[in-house]
Chains A and B, each alone.
Chain A
Amino acid sequence: MRPISYSRATAVADAVAAVAADPTSDFLAGGTTEVDLLRQNVLLPRRLVDINDLPLTGIEDRPDGGLYIGALARMSEVAEAPAVRERFPMVAEALVLGASAQLRHMASMGGNMMQRVRCGYFRDASSPCNKRDPGSGCGALDGFNRGHAVLGVSEHCIATHPSDVAVPLVALDARIHTEGPHGRQVHALDDFFLLPGATPHLEHPLEHGELVVGIEVPGLAMARSSCYLKVRDRESYEFALTSVAAAVDLADGVIRDVRLALGGVATKPWRARRAEELLRGAPADIGAFRRAAREELAAARTTPLNAFKAELARRTVVRALATLTGTEHAS
């Protein structure tokens, strides 16, 4: 392992100043992804500033019924918080279905937003990867890409965004709060995750030294009736092939409002705006669900190995909506 200097910060301003001052430095939170990538020589910082002592751990109620989740709250704490379970069940479900119990105890919410992709070509320091080594090419485009993205892809990168909990959060219009060299910033979550385009190495609109300090989840009544459905190769400790976060406001069999986001299929947590548009005001029936799913996935760009994910994503959307609205789903 490369020699790395290490320090622990006790104040946010100190942490920000320490990292901002050194372009070869990085923050260290739970470390569940970062330490792996350090050992694999994928990430090459010379200095780590450990932020685990910073006072960023609480889960606070907001007057609008929403929550403010500290960046260092652990995944398991948030999953168990009664306010999260009651008001945002899809967030709690996404957390519980992510990673393993051990990892959830270590991994922080802020770190989850910052986690790197699972693409094997990104994680193998000797493979070409535009994300790790801009301009070197994409090993996955013509490689083993069964798990790769079908939405939001570019000819430079098709790596899937791996987070589960970011999927319901993007459906909820959550906001990321940061502290950086230029003070406090707030980023809409959908804008916080960048599409790869021609610059897959840029994943967030953050400047060096800008630290995620919290996640604001606005209140949303219909989120009480929400779910997170995850389809994966094994029953635990595995990333999604497809996942859906859905919340529905249903009245007299008609969808008054809906929030829908997809995981496992896109280069970022994928807010399904086209589908939401089609569903709003539509009857809660399988036909409407299928139409919405089909339209959302119309832009899918697949490879022979991952073509099934577009169809699986459509079916996952239909299943999630049918389950949430109590609609019969014929098989």
Chain B
Amino acid sequence: MTTAPAVGRPVDRVDGRHKVTGGAHYSADVRPTDRAHAVLVGARVPSGRVTGIDTDEARQAGGVLAILTHENLPGIATQPPLLPSLAGMPAPGQTFFPLQDEVVHYSGQPVAVVVADTLERAQHAAALVRVTYQETPSVTTVAQGRDDAYVPDAIFGGFVPGRSVRGDVEAGLAAADVRIDATYTYAANHHNPIEPAATTAVWDGDQLTLYDATQGVAATQLTVAALLGLSPSKVRVLSHFVGGSFGCKAMIWAHPALAALAARHVGRPVKLSLTREQMFTSVGHREEQEQRIELGADKEGRLVALRHHKLSPTSPFDDWAEPSLGVASQLYACAHYEGVYRLFRANTMTPTFMRAPGEASGMFALECTMDDLAHQLGIDPVELRLRNYSETDPTTKNPWSSTGLKECYARGAERFGWHRRRPAPRSHRDGDWLIGYGMAAAGYPVYGPNNPQRARARLYADGTAVVQAATPDFGTGVATVMTQVAADALGLPWERCRFEGGDTALPGIAAAVGSAGAGMISAAVHTAAARLRDQLVAQAVADSQSPLHGADPAAVTVRDGRMMLRDAPATGETYGDLLHRNFLPDVEASGAWSPSPESHHYGMMTFGAQFAEVAVDPDLGVVRVRRMVGAFAPGRVLNPKTARSQLMGGMLWGLGQALLEANYMDPRRGRWVASGLGDYLVPVNADAPDIEVELVDVTDDIVNPLGVKGVGEIGQVGAAAALANALHHATGRRVRKLPVTIEDLL
């Protein structure tokens, strides 16, 4: 009897039924006895000082338990440094904690927390808190801050240098046959998962339990423990269901600690759920930015020099920019390169990770400019990219751990029907519509965690298994795919395995960010489950009553929960037989995994290629995206259903980035103009085209045990560029801003 491996099968989500029937309880759904509600009051000015907080009226409103301000909130113990949560350490989204003094750094900064017995009463009292300010001039836009820009030593929590150079870019540009100099502007973006960020805090003596919507329970635990001066052993964080994140729950913002402080103050459990409006000012955003590309190539289109500069606002506290220059510096062979981040201090919170953080914006600039180069030289855009293909990581000269990029170009082009494209702009029509085809390359780094990733597997005598790791499932399908991974490693049908996560009481896993979740969690789960299987096999061959007694463990295989000799399958017994005979109710093993030292000698990147067809009404400027085809090589695909879902979602994010998503600061007031989903537009079903996802197989023995490279972000990279290139092909018009809207095409 053979059971097909579970990995690679399109298994339905194990938690799907709970989610669609309302059985899934999210962090704000937790209802501890006597739960109170906290509501944040945000600053109405972007810069200045709080000169007074009149709480008299608010206090007299019904049900109010406490009003916390900088005057009565206990100070924080320590402010941990900003580190991306994948590092596995405390991971505050910014090195600023509100309510410590009267200074206002950005609009929306919490200036008071109102706690009441019901949500409605807390909201009402919050509206009655009268805050007066002494406002000072603010800076919130690139236009205002441009002249005060500086080059930071490093960005991104210190992991990315402010300036990177190889070769001599000036000489390279001077020697180039063709030069293109183009500047791109980008509106700010917000994540807007459907579940707003929320924390429910419960104290039991000096033990704190937080139910938190987070991408990493350990990140919440360590950050809140540091801020409150608690031992992490006193803080447990649970996160059983998370309604999307896209990066805004990857770092730990002020609200979990504020919920804990409020709960301690009132002596009751407290829920703090951000409003939709507060989601625009409390959990980071993708910053407004401007990127300039100067590109030099020879007559055949081979790049000789690339200068890529970015200018963007950061907060008063941190040197943060999304690393837009990274993948754009690695994708093509190019001898002379200079990448520079320029920042200016602005009255905003620290920007943060947002899906394909940096890759989505940087590759937009690079891939639109590459399209210009192809057009100028009369070279097919796919051919141009093949000519610039790099066999190694150009930044280190290390070989790629695996690629698949050429196959992505070929398979994507074939599935899309790229050969039908006539090169000249405005050469395809459908009635009144101008039709355009565009493409772009995609890349996303394969990140490894800094510290060991752990999991535990336990087999019961009835032949079922539970595997555990602390990671939450924030909608990606991790609970489903880890069930599959554990099943194969144990030799069990996946229906007999169950994954438990989302709890710091379980073996530790870093935050699932940067598309690293599937790779690192599967490595830990696989290691633990394989160790348990090996342990059980070892016990069987040592057991004189086992049919496998004396066998070489290496000759034993396990299928469907039965250990047997590979060459004589009739000889064997089930796990259950072994456990029952030895009076064992269960057997357990733990496993840990860290990236191999060898992996540092490889460039590790997931590759892809995006193709798009648009229709443009040239009179009305209306754009309809007709088709998108993405070909991706994400290494081993653990579950094609959840993987396609993520890749397709990423491509739709690219559509939103290209045509819809935007927020702007009103510089007079230092505030975002959009503060809800009525003003901040994301694509709706009616905007969604036919989307096809092509999976290109690549084997990767370097990145992690199962060769998983990740699918969370690569779907978005290049999608906006493919669409903008299609718009250029349709109309002959090159729009160098995101999003592209109707007025750009009139």
A17 to chain B, nearest CB (A): 29
What does the 1/0 interface line of B514-531 toward A look like (CB < 8 Å)?
000000000000000000
**CB pair B684 A236 closer than 8 Å:** yes
What does the 1/0 interface line of B455-496 toward A look like (CB < 8 Å)?
000000000000000000000000000000000000000000
What does the 1/0 interface line of A297-331 toward B look like (CB < 8 Å)?
00000000000100110011011000000000101
User: Which A residues lie within 8 Å of B618 (CB)?
Assistant: 331
**CB pair A235 B621 closer than 8 Å:** no
**CB pair B673 A235 closer than 8 Å:** no
What does the 1/0 interface line of B105-125 toward A look like (CB < 8 Å)?
000000000000000100110
**CB pair A234 B619 closer than 8 Å:** no
**CB pair B686 A236 closer than 8 Å:** yes
B505 to chain A, nearest CB (A): 37
**A127-B669, A308-B742, A312-B746 as given contacts; A233 in contact with B679, CB under 8 Å:** no
User: Which A residues lie within 8 Å of B664 (CB)?
Assistant: 144
Residue B683 is within 8 A (CB to CB) of chain A in the complex: yes
**CB pair B666 A144 closer than 8 Å:** yes
Closest to B42 in A: A126
Most buried by A among B434, B741, B742: B742
**CB pair A316 B620 closer than 8 Å:** yes
- List CB contacts (< 8 Å) of B624-681 with chain A: 624, 659-660, 664, 666, 668-669, 671, 673-675, 678-679, 681
**CB pair A315 B683 closer than 8 Å:** no
- How far, in whole Å, are A114 and B350 apart by their CA atoms in the complex? 41
Most buried by B among A235, A237, A318: A235
Residue B533 is within 8 A (CB to CB) of chain A in the complex: no
**A315-B620, A329-B432 as given contacts; A233 in contact with B683, CB under 8 Å:** no
Residue A8 is within 8 A (CB to CB) of chain B in the complex: no
Closest to A126 in B: B44
**CB pair B743 A120 closer than 8 Å:** no
Residue B424 is within 8 A (CB to CB) of chain A in the complex: no
Residue B687 is within 8 A (CB to CB) of chain A in the complex: yes
User: Which B residues lie within 8 Å of A86 (CB)?
Assistant: none
- List CB contacts (< 8 Å) of A97-130 with chain B: 118, 120, 124, 126-127
Determine the main DSSP class of A at the interface with B: loop
Q: Kindly identify which residue among B127, B683, B685 contacts A2, using a CB–CB cutoff of 8 Å.
A: B127
Q: Kindly identify which residue among B62, B124, B432, B687 contacts A235, using a CB–CB cutoff of 8 Å.
A: B687
**CB pair B684 A235 closer than 8 Å:** yes
User: Which A residues lie within 8 Å of B674 (CB)?
Assistant: 120
Closest to A315 in B: B619
- How far, in whole Å, are A329 and B621 apart by their CA atoms in the complex? 15
**CB pair B673 A144 closer than 8 Å:** yes
**A127-B669, A143-B668, A315-B619 as given contacts; A238 in contact with B675, CB under 8 Å:** no
Residue A154 is within 8 A (CB to CB) of chain B in the complex: no
**A2-B124, A124-B675, A311-B746 as given contacts; A234 in contact with B620, CB under 8 Å:** no
Residue B622 is within 8 A (CB to CB) of chain A in the complex: yes
**CB pair A319 B44 closer than 8 Å:** no
User: Which A residues lie within 8 Å of B624 (CB)?
Assistant: 235
A160 to chain B, nearest CB (A): 13
- How far, in whole Å, are A47 and B3 apart by their CA atoms in the complex? 67
Most buried by A among B127, B620, B622, B679: B620
- How far, in whole Å, are A142 and B669 apart by their CA atoms in the complex? 11
Residue A63 is within 8 A (CB to CB) of chain B in the complex: no
**CB pair B743 A308 closer than 8 Å:** yes
- List CB contacts (< 8 Å) of B680-729 with chain A: 681, 683-687
- How far, in whole Å, are A39 and B660 apart by their CA atoms in the complex? 27
**Which bucket holds chain A's interface residue count?**
20 to 34
User: Which B residues lie within 8 Å of A311 (CB)?
Assistant: 746
User: Which B residues lie within 8 Å of A199 (CB)?
Assistant: none
- List CB contacts (< 8 Å) of A22-77 with chain B: 39, 41
**A237-B684, A316-B620 as given contacts; A41 in contact with B673, CB under 8 Å:** no
**A120-B674, A236-B685, A319-B619 as given contacts; A3 in contact with B660, CB under 8 Å:** no
**A233-B681, A312-B746 as given contacts; A1 in contact with B621, CB under 8 Å:** no
A3 to chain B, nearest CB (A): 7
What does the 1/0 interface line of B414-450 toward A look like (CB < 8 Å)?
0000000000000000001010000000000000000
Residue A241 is within 8 A (CB to CB) of chain B in the complex: yes
- How far, in whole Å, are A124 and B124 apart by their CA atoms in the complex? 16
**CB pair A312 B620 closer than 8 Å:** yes
Residue A202 is within 8 A (CB to CB) of chain B in the complex: no
User: Which A residues lie within 8 Å of B678 (CB)?
Assistant: 118
User: Which A residues lie within 8 Å of B44 (CB)?
Assistant: 126
**CB pair B681 A238 closer than 8 Å:** yes
Closest to B625 in A: A235
- How far, in whole Å, are A315 and B620 apart by their CA atoms in the complex? 7
**CB pair B666 A319 closer than 8 Å:** no
- How far, in whole Å, are A142 and B619 apart by their CA atoms in the complex? 29
- List CB contacts (< 8 Å) of A120-163 with chain B: 120, 124, 126-127, 139, 142-144
A297 to chain B, nearest CB (A): 14
Closest to A145 in B: B673
Residue A231 is within 8 A (CB to CB) of chain B in the complex: yes
**CB pair B660 A234 closer than 8 Å:** yes
A5 to chain B, nearest CB (A): 14
- How far, in whole Å, are A1 and B63 apart by their CA atoms in the complex? 13
User: Which B residues lie within 8 Å of A312 (CB)?
Assistant: 620-621, 742-743, 746
**CB pair A1 B683 closer than 8 Å:** no
User: Which B residues lie within 8 Å of A241 (CB)?
Assistant: 742
- The 7 lowest CB-CB distance pairs between A and B, nearest first, are A308-B743, A235-B686, A236-B686, A144-B673, A331-B618, A235-B687, A1-B120
Name 6 extra pairs, CB < 8 A, besides A1-B123, A312-B746, A331-B619.
A39-B123, A144-B664, A234-B686, A235-B624, A236-B685, A236-B686
A interface list, Cβ under 8 A from B? 1-3, 39, 41, 118, 120, 124, 126-127, 139, 142-144, 231, 233-238, 241, 308, 311-312, 315-316, 318-319, 329, 331
What are 16 pairs between A and B in contact, CB < 8 Å?
A: A2-B127, A41-B127, A124-B675, A231-B620, A233-B741, A233-B742, A234-B681, A234-B684, A234-B686, A236-B687, A237-B686, A312-B743, A312-B746, A315-B746, A329-B619, A331-B434
